[in-house]
Amino acid sequence: MSFAQSLLENVLRVAEEKGAKKVKRVVVEIGTLLMLNPEQLTFCYEVVSKGTIAENSELNIVEIKPKIRCSVCGKEFDAPFAICDCGGVVTVEGGKDAVIRKIEMEV
Ligand SMILES: [Zn+2]
């Protein structure tokens, strides 16, 4: 619930700055490593946005997968293992961010 709450607060702050009357659609990118359930997030967002100008707005969630690669041979992995077969250290890039990409509103 807290993530939906802070997402809504950010959306409302931007909408307020633009002098919007109504928020229609929000596109948010979410790294899969944050382990957020999109259905649950959509539900929570609907709940917390009730009574605000974002009520009934559509929430589009784009899941962003991290790039997991061996720093030595460059082999890619699906899950973050600590050490590659070659002995190189596996690094994880991205997948931990939540970014609001777009807010459609009525001004
Ligand atoms: Zn390797």
Q: Evaluate whether residue 41 is within a structural domain.
A: yes
- Residue-level pLDDT at 2: 87
Q: What is the pTM of this model?
A: 0.82
Segments forming the whole domain that contains residue 40 = 2-65+94-106
The pLDDT of residue 1 is above 70: no
- Residue-level pLDDT at 106: 96
Q: Evaluate whether residue 88 is within a structural domain.
A: no
Q: Evaluate whether residue 43 is within a structural domain.
A: yes
**From the CA of 68, how far away is ligand 1's center (Å)?**
11
**From the CA of 28, how far away is ligand 1's center (Å)?**
33
- Residue-level pLDDT at 80: 74
Q: Evaluate whether residue 61 is within a structural domain.
A: yes
Q: Evaluate whether residue 82 is within a structural domain.
A: no
Task: Give the tens place of pLDDT for each residue, 73-89.
Answer: 999 998 777 789 999 99
Task: Please count the structural domains in the chain.
Answer: 1
Q: Evaluate whether residue 9 is within a structural domain.
A: yes
11 CB-near residues (< 8 Å, 6+ apart): 23, 26, 54, 57, 100, 103
Report the alpha-carbon distance of residue 100 to residue 30 in Å, rounded.
Answer: 9
Q: Evaluate whether residue 34 is within a structural domain.
A: yes
**From the CA of 93, how far away is ligand 1's center (Å)?**
16
Q: For residue 28, what is the domain's CATH number?
A: 3.30.2320.50
